[in-house]
A = this chain, B = another copy of it.
Amino acid sequence: MSQRKLRLGAFIMATGHHIAAWRHPGGQIDAGTNIDHYIALAQTAERGLFDQVFVADTPGLRFEGSDEAFSRQGRVSYFEPVTLWAALSAVTKHIGFVATASTTYEDPFLLARKFASLDHISKGRAAWNVVTTSAENVYGNFGQDKHPEPEVRYEKAQEFVDVVKGLWDSFEDDAFARDPASGVYFDPAKLHPLNHVGKHLKVAGPLNLERSPQGYPVIVQAGSSEPGKELAAATAEAIFTAWTSLAEAQAFYSDVKGRLAKYGRRPEQLLVLPGISPVVGRTQAEAEAKWAELQKLIHPSVGLNTLEPFWPGEDLSKWDLDAPPPYIPQPPLGRNSRAHVVLELARRDKLTVRQLYEYLAGARGHWVVVGTPEHIADQMQSWFENGAADGFNVMPPVLPESLDDFVDLVIPELQRRGLFRTAYEGTTLRENLGLERPANQFSVQARKAA
Give the residues in chain B near A86, CB-CB below 8 Å: 82-84, 86-87
- The answer to whether A78 and B30 touch (CB under 8 A), given A121-B35, A143-B201, A143-B203, is no
- Contact check: which of B33, B80, B185, B208 meets A60 at CB < 8 Å? B208
**Once bound together, how far apart are the Cα atoms of A209 and B78, in whole Å?**
5
Q: Which of B71, B83, B137, B205 contacts A117 (CB 8 A)?
A: B83
Range class of the A interface residue count? 35 or more
Q: Does A259 contact B (CB under 8 A)?
A: no
Q: How far does the Cβ of A402 sit from chain B's closest Cβ, in whole Å?
A: 17
* Nearest-Cβ distance from residue A67 to partner chain B, whole angstroms: 4
Are A71 and B178 closer than 8 Å at their CB atoms?
A: no
A436 interfacial contact with B, CB 8 Å: no
Q: Are A208 and B58 in contact (CB under 8 A)?
A: yes
> Contacting A71 at CB < 8 Å: which of B186, B205, B299?
B186
When each residue 16-28 of chain A gets 1 if its CB lies under 8 Å from chain B and 0 otherwise, what string results? Answer: 0000101111000
Interface string of A105-142 (1 = CB under 8 A from B): 11101100110111011010000000000000100111
Contact B142 A178 (CB under 8 A): no
Across-interface contacts of A187 in B (CB, < 8 A):
71
Partner of A205, one of B39, B82, B91, B141: B141
Indicate how many identical chains form the complex: 2
- The smallest beta-carbon distance between A74 and chain B, in angstroms, is 5
Quick one: closest B residue to A80, CB to CB?
A: B117
Chain B's closest residue to A120 (CB) is B33
Contact A142 B22 (CB under 8 A): no
Pick the contact of A22 from B76, B113, B180 — CB < 8 Å?
Answer: B180
User: What are the residues of chain B within 8 A of A23 when measuring CB–CB?
Assistant: 180, 183
In Å, the complex CA distance between A33 and B176 comes to 12
Q: B188 contacts A71, CB within 8 Å?
A: yes
Give a binary string over A166-187; 1 marks a CB under 8 Å from any B CB, 0 the rest: 0000110000101010011111
Query: Which residue, of A107, A180, A208, A209, has the highest number of chain B Cβ atoms within 10 A?
Result: A208
Cα–Cα, bound, A23→B302 (Å): 62
How long is the Cα–Cα vector from A48 to B180 in the complex, in angstroms? 29
CB pair B83 A114 closer than 8 Å: yes
Do B33 and A210 have beta carbons less than 8 Å apart? yes
A207 sits at the interface (CB 8 A): yes
- Does A247 sit within 8 A of B, measured CB to CB? no
Whether the pair B91, A207 counts as a contact (CB closer than 8 A) is no
- A28 CB to closest chain B CB (Å) equals 10
Residue A89 CB within 8 A of the other chain = yes
Contact flags A207-237 to B (C-beta < 8 A → 1, else 0): 1111000000000000000000000000000
| Complex contact A207–B61 (CB within 8 A) | yes
Closest to A81 in B: B117
A47 adjacent to chain B (CB < 8 Å): no
- Asked if A88 is at the interface of the complex by the 8 Å CB criterion, the answer is yes
Q: Taking CB as reference atom, which chain B residue is nearest A205?
A: B141
A76 contacts B143, C-beta separation under 8 Å:
no
Check A434 for interface membership: any CB of B closer than 8 A. no
Instruction: Please state if B29 and A171 are interface contacts (CB–CB under 8 Å).
Output: no
Chain B residue with Cβ nearest A73: B185
Asked if A70 is at the interface (CB within 8 A of a chain B CB), the reply is: yes
Assembled-state Cα–Cα distance A73/B177 (Å): 12
Considering only CB atoms, which chain B residue lies closest to A298 in the complex?
B183
Which residues from chain A sit less than 8 Å from chain B, CB to CB?
Answer: 20, 22-25, 29-30, 33, 35, 39, 58-61, 67, 70-74, 76-80, 82-84, 86-91, 105-107, 109-110, 113-114, 116-118, 120-121, 123, 137, 140-143, 170-171, 176, 178, 180, 183-189, 191, 201-210, 297, 299, 302
Contacts A70-B188, A87-B121, A143-B203 aside, 6 further interface pairs with beta carbons under 8 A come to A23-B180, A30-B178, A39-B90, A59-B113, A73-B185, A106-B110
A-B contact pairs, 18 of them (CB 8 A): A22-B180, A29-B178, A30-B178, A33-B210, A35-B90, A35-B123, A59-B109, A59-B113, A61-B191, A79-B120, A83-B86, A84-B86, A86-B87, A106-B107, A141-B203, A143-B201, A143-B202, A183-B297
The 9 closest A-B pairs by CB, nearest first: A140-B204, A143-B202, A86-B86, A77-B210, A80-B117, A61-B208, A83-B117, A183-B299, A90-B90
